[in-house]
């Protein structure tokens, strides 16, 4: 189908001519939309051109808009900030020698991320193997352990694991431990989007740790697996999804994009062109059976445009503050008010050498420090003696404090770090969230599957709107699902 190359002025002009968009002071766009629909009902046949407004130019919004554009629909993306990409953010500024830091999305996996890999091929991007989960050194109780040490039966016994757990961990990564306890229950899951009516519904009311305890988990295993704050059904379902997809719980084979992970949002945005409007913050949404209209702020003024559908790709903690008329039903409002995400701060350390090689240690480290949780190398393809080390920690920590924490824990003799910069996502106004965290115990049915279903002509896509909460995988999967649904409507 043909694509429509609409700039901002063209979109408003064509919407006004069709009776579906205008200045808020001039015309009631929804009334005009009703008139147009009555005169031309053929516009609603499957596959016919529709007008869609997408809220948010993160990877989900860009992906959904791109798919809609390819299918021949007229689409505009309203982004509140001055850049596209959302939580996928690659930065060169302040770094030397052409180096860069991925301040947001870390990686993608194989197996997994099928739609993501399809876009890499479609756009001719280059995926690089990323050994950040190999040769991992883990610091526990002030001591570093290599992968070999964590498979050693003597060390495992010292930690307090039982014989069954020792036999498992001697052959498998610690990150797979919960599969030892969940494996007997997984075969009942045959549809990854259906966690209910399999005989486990009551398990949503108990923590996952109760299942581990029932099946004889040691105190050491309970400390490693957690599960006190998430329901047994939820954790079982997440494990089953990965089994159905053929993906490990913690895939060791991870990848990143050459020149930074923002290359994929950039590829979407380049093809969408002037359909992406930056610094256009959505202020209000109106929806009816016949269409939607969106009021957005641009500069000191406000404008209103209307379309057949609205796709929300804005994180729900931000979206919930946007007035919607008529108001969403209480069960939707409950989701908006109670969904929870994790967030973090990304640190980018620039060093003058791979200093850890001289000390015979790995730079892939997990820490037990409150100021810095992990570090690993990145941007290794840049032709320079300098290197980039990425790190993750909590919000509110200064870069200097994170550097001090690294130097406190580093097991080698001396580092060559020249500077450290950071991005604190917890303080971001429009994209403060990373991945959705487990729903509260006993409340899975309040969130699923309503979380991903449309409400009239308002659809939902993003890292929050799919079954598995794996960032850009959930974003691309939900985005393409929504694009297909609108196209077929």
Take residue 317 and report the two structure tokens written for it.
Answer: 């903690």
No. of helices (H) and no. of strands (E), the chain: 17, 22
Identify the residue with better confidence: 29 or 279. Answer: 279
* 67, 480 contact by CB (below 8 A): yes
pLDDT at 299: 87
Find the mean pLDDT for residues 20-38: 33
Q: Does the pLDDT at position 21 exceed 60?
A: no
Angle, helices 59-70/263-272, rounded to nearest 10 degrees: 40
Find the mean pLDDT for residues 291-306: 95
pLDDT at 15: 42
Q: What is the DSSP string of 427-459?
A: G-SS----SBPPPPTT-HHHHTTGGGS-BTTEE
Identify the residue with better confidence: 30 or 145. Answer: 145
Dihedral (CA of 175, 259, 98, 432) sign: negative
pLDDT at 46: 57
Find the mean pLDDT for residues 90-114: 96
**b/e code 319-358 from CB counts within 10 Å (16+ = b):** bbebebeeebeeebeebeeebebebbbbbbbbbeeebbee
* 474, 462 contact by CB (below 8 A): yes
Q: Does the pLDDT at position 33 exceed 50?
A: no
pLDDT level of residue 24 (50, 70, 90 thresholds)? very low
List of E strands, 82-122: 90-91, 101-102, 108-109
Give Cβ neighbours of residue 79 (< 8 Å, ≥ 6 apart): 56, 57, 61, 276, 277, 278, 279, 280
Question: pLDDT of 271-298, one tens digit each?
Answer: 999 999 999 999 999 999 999 999 999 9
Rounded Cα–Cα distance for residues 387 and 95 (Å): 10
Q: Does the pLDDT at position 25 exceed 80?
A: no
Question: pLDDT of 208-243, one tens digit each?
Answer: 999 999 999 999 999 999 999 999 999 999 999 999
Find the mean pLDDT for residues 405-424: 97
Q: Does the pLDDT at position 2 exceed 80?
A: no
pLDDT at 219: 97
Does pTM top 0.85 for this prediction? Answer: yes
Q: Does the pLDDT at position 484 exceed 70?
A: yes
Question: pLDDT of 163-219, one tens digit each?
Answer: 999 999 999 999 999 999 999 999 999 999 999 999 999 999 999 999 999 999 999
pLDDT at 16: 35
Give Cβ neighbours of residue 263 (< 8 Å, ≥ 6 apart): 90, 125, 257
Find the mean pLDDT for residues 450-458: 97
pLDDT at 48: 84
pLDDT level of residue 47 (50, 70, 90 thresholds)? low
Which run of H or E residues covers position 420? strand 417-424
Give Cβ neighbours of residue 155 (< 8 Å, ≥ 6 apart): 145, 149
* 148, 392 contact by CB (below 8 A): no
């Amino acid at each position: 189908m043909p694509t429509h190359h609409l700039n901002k002025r063209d979109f408003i002009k064509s919407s006004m001519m069709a009776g579906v968009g205008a200045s808020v002071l001039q015309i009631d766009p929804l009334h005009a939309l009703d008139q147009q629909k009555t005169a031309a009902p053929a516009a609603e046949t499957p596959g016919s051109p529709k007008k869609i407004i997408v809220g948010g130019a993160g990877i989900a919004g860009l992906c959904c808009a791109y798919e809609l554009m390819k299918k021949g629909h007229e689409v505009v993306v309203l982004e509140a900030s001055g850049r596209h990409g959302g939580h996928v953010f690659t930065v060169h500024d302040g770094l030397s020698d052409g180096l860069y830091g991925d301040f947001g999305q870390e990686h993608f996996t194989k197996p997994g991320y099928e739609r993501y890999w399809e876009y890499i091929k479609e756009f001719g991007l280059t995926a690089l193997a990323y050994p950040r989960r190999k040769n991992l050194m883990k610091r526990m109780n002030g001591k570093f352990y290599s992968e070999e040490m964590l498979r050693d039966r003597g060390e495992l016994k010292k930690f307090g694991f039982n014989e069954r757990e020792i036999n498992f961990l001697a052959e498998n990564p610690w990150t797979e431990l919960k599969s030892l306890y969940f494996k007997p229950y997984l075969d009942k899951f045959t549809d990854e989007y259906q966690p209910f009516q399999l005989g486990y519904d009551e398990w949503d009311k108990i923590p996952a740790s109760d299942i581990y305890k029932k099946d004889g988990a040691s105190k050491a295993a309970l400390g490693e697996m957690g599960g006190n704050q998430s329901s047994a059904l939820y954790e079982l379902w997440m494990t089953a999804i990965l089994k159905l997809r053929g993906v490990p719980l913690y895939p060791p084979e991870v990848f990143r994009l050459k020149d930074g992970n923002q290359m994929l949002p950039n590829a979407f945005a380049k093809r969408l062109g002037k359909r992406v409007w930056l610094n256009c913050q959505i202020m209000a949404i109106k929806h009816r059976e016949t269409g939607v209209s969106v009021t957005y702020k641009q500069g000191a003024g406000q404008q209103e445009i209307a379309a057949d559908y609205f796709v929300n790709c804005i994180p729900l903690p931000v979206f919930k503050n946007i007035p919607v008329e008529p108001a969403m039903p209480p069960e939707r409002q409950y989701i908006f008010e109670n969904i929870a995400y994790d967030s973090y701060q990304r640190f980018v350390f620039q060093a003058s050498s791979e200093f850890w090689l001289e000390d015979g240690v790995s730079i892939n480290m997990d820490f037990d420090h409150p100021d810095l949780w992990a570090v690993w190398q990145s941007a290794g393809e840049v032709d320079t003696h300098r290197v980039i080390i990425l790190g993750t920690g909590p919000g509110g920590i200064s870069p200097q404090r994170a550097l001090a924490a690294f130097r406190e824990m580093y097991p080698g003799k001396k580092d060559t770090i020249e500077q450290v910069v950071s991005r604190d996502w917890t303080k971001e106004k429009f994209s403060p969230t990373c991945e959705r965290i487990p729903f509260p115990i006993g409340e899975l049915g309040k969130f699923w599957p309503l979380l991903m279903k449309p409400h009239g002509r308002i659809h939902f896509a993003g890292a929050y709107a799919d079954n598995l909460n794996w960032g850009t995988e959930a974003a691309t999967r939900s985005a393409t699902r929504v694009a297909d649904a609108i196209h077929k409507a």
